[in-house]
Amino acid sequence: MSEMKFPEWMADVQRRVEHALESRLPAGNIAPERLHQAMRYATLGGGKRVRPLLAFAAGELSGAPAARLEVIACALECIHVYSLVHDDMPCMDDDVLRRGKPTVHVQYDEATALLVGDALQTQAFDLLSAPQLFEDTAAQVKSIALLARASGSRGMAGGQAIDLASVGQSLSREELEFMHIHKTGALIRAAVMMGATAGNTDEATLAKLDHFGKCIGLLFQVVDDILDEVADTATLGKTAGKDAANDKPTYVSILGLSKARELAKELAAEAHATLTALNTSTRRLAEITDYIVSRHF
Amino acid sequence: MSEMKFPEWMADVQRRVEHALESRLPAGNIAPERLHQAMRYATLGGGKRVRPLLAFAAGELSGAPAARLEVIACALECIHVYSLVHDDMPCMDDDVLRRGKPTVHVQYDEATALLVGDALQTQAFDLLSAPQLFEDTAAQVKSIALLARASGSRGMAGGQAIDLASVGQSLSREELEFMHIHKTGALIRAAVMMGATAGNTDEATLAKLDHFGKCIGLLFQVVDDILDEVADTATLGKTAGKDAANDKPTYVSILGLSKARELAKELAAEAHATLTALNTSTRRLAEITDYIVSRHF
């Protein structure tokens, strides 16, 4: 793995995760068939798998076994996809396109989209609580706790609630940052931390990785806001310009495009500096940082 | 505890669970405030707390510490309430009344109801993965796995999907049973099993308790179907007669009222026989069985 160039490594992890999700999500011919088919429709065959990439990158650093990282990656992706499915529903962002395909409530129906999100969230905890996944069950409990805390009302779901409340409001940069640290940042940070705790990582390294995770969580969102402003729908695979259309505050609307780009560069620099301070190989984490930035530069 | 008459014991457990939920759900003044207030609105001050009662009853048998049972009870109730909040939404059953109060999407709005359900589900796994909750972290992982399996697409959420697909369909008794074993039965069964695994219970006893849980899960649903037919809205605290109005198959619509009552008696008898076969005190589990039956006889 360590010999591979980054694009090869990324493609390799993405393939592994796709395969792991294929085999670990309930099959489409198990009852209730339609629900299971819709769960697979939502999850398989798309996405950059950023959270799995981060878990694998941190996992290489911690020496975690690949089989365990695959399950952690699947759990992270189940949570991420559940949030997308619910976020796209008519009572939330009401979006029709996701990863270049009709959203779940369009392809199926609203009730199915609701249940798909619900069941994917549960699936994440089901996967993570599998017997023998960890030799050290205390570390397994910690991994579950990291995911739960990052996803709930004080993490991702809470960020969604703040996002909803902010429509049509003018936010300060601090308020916007608070929202994003929850909405997108918490799960990205958890991905790094779950990869690290899946193997052996000392407390000092964990603390630095946590800071790194915080930086790239924000970086990811700033880049996303820039892309939403400058890219077209075909490139994004989701509806472009929807934040502006929905009157949602973004880094671009608050800072302007050029200052948002500067902020992205600063965050990337801080992420790199945090990695450099670690006395261990952090090559893949550094490469992912560059990859996130390269999405728009 | 063992000296108390059943109504006292039940009231005591209900008070403990209410208090534990009060203190363990995020406070209404923590950001995002509105989401946390709505989570508390949905969860506190109502409900018979049947699943917590079962966990405590099985926990007395296993010798589990009360503090651990409280957390397990809260987790079960968070999952149960999340399912009610989502089930009441316009794209599902579209109901306006629950536990005698306006449903969450009526009192707040649809997006908030969606997020309340999402965040309550996560809260359950957050609570169960708390450090030091179990001395034996392998048992803790098992408890999390029991809850996840019971709640997901092969449990409660799957039962909801089958329920939705059955509207306007004629089901056989076997198909109806399959639906209820998932929709209501799985979580009730998990409540018994989680109480039992929170302490010391041998495998043979666990197997019998699992069968007991299956019986009372079905019993609970048969009684619910009977109540939906014969009780009024004020007594139920939720809209009465809604299954018939929604053209949903029930035990009453398939078997008729008198045969549904007979079935309830048979299931209660089998539950009692299963308990009697255990060489240990199962008084509270027996009393809960009688209590479920007494809701309509």
Question: Is A1 within the bounds of a domain?
Answer: no
Among all residues of chain B, which has the CA nearest to that of A36? B153
For chain B, give the number of residues: 297
What's the mean pLDDT in B111-119? Answer: 98
Query: Model confidence over B65-102: pLDDT tens digits?
Result: 999 999 999 999 999 999 999 999 999 999 999 988 99
Q: pTM (2 decimals)? A: 0.95
ipTM: 0.95
pLDDT value at residue B166: 87
The angle at the Cα of B151, spanning B147 to B154, to the nearest 5 degrees, equals: 115
Residues in A touching B138 (Cβ below 8 Å): 137
Number of helical H runs and strand E runs in chain A: 16, 2
Nearest by CB: A129 against B86, B89, B141 = B141
Predicted local confidence at residue B174, as pLDDT? 87
In a domain, B283, yes or no: yes
Digit-coded pLDDT (tens) for B229-244? 887 766 666 676 667 6
How many Å apart are CA B205 and CA B195, to the nearest integer?
12
Query: Does residue A66 surpass a pLDDT of 80?
Result: yes
Chain-chain contact of A114 with B86 (C-beta, under 8 angstroms): yes
A141 and B140 within 8 Å at the Cβ level: the answer is yes
Number of domains present in the structure of chain A: 1
Instruction: Report which of B79, B85, B110, B113 is spatially closest to residue B98, judged by C-alpha positions.
Output: B85
Is the residue at B264 inside a domain? yes
Burial B246-259 (b: 16+ CB within 10 A, else e): eebbbbbbbbeeee
A257 lies in some domain = yes
Per-residue pLDDT, averaged over B124-131, amounts to 98
Residue B1 lies in a domain: no
Of A32, A111, A148, Cβ closest to residue B91? A111
Q: Extract the tokens encoding B93.
A: 């059953």
CA angle B151, B156, B162 (to 5 degrees): 145
Q: What is the CATH number of the domain that holds B101?
A: 1.10.600.10
* Tokens representing residue A226 in the block: 């820039």
More confident residue, B233 or B271: B271
A151: containing domain: 6-294
Band the pLDDT of A128: cuts 50, 70, 90.
Answer: very high
pLDDT digits (tens, 9 = 90+) for B251-264: 998 999 999 999 99
Helices B137-151, B186-197: inter-axial angle, 10-degree rounding: 170
pLDDT of residue A229: 85
CB contact under 8 A, A162 and B32: yes
Single out the residue of B152, B184, B81 nearest to residue A116, CA to CA: B152
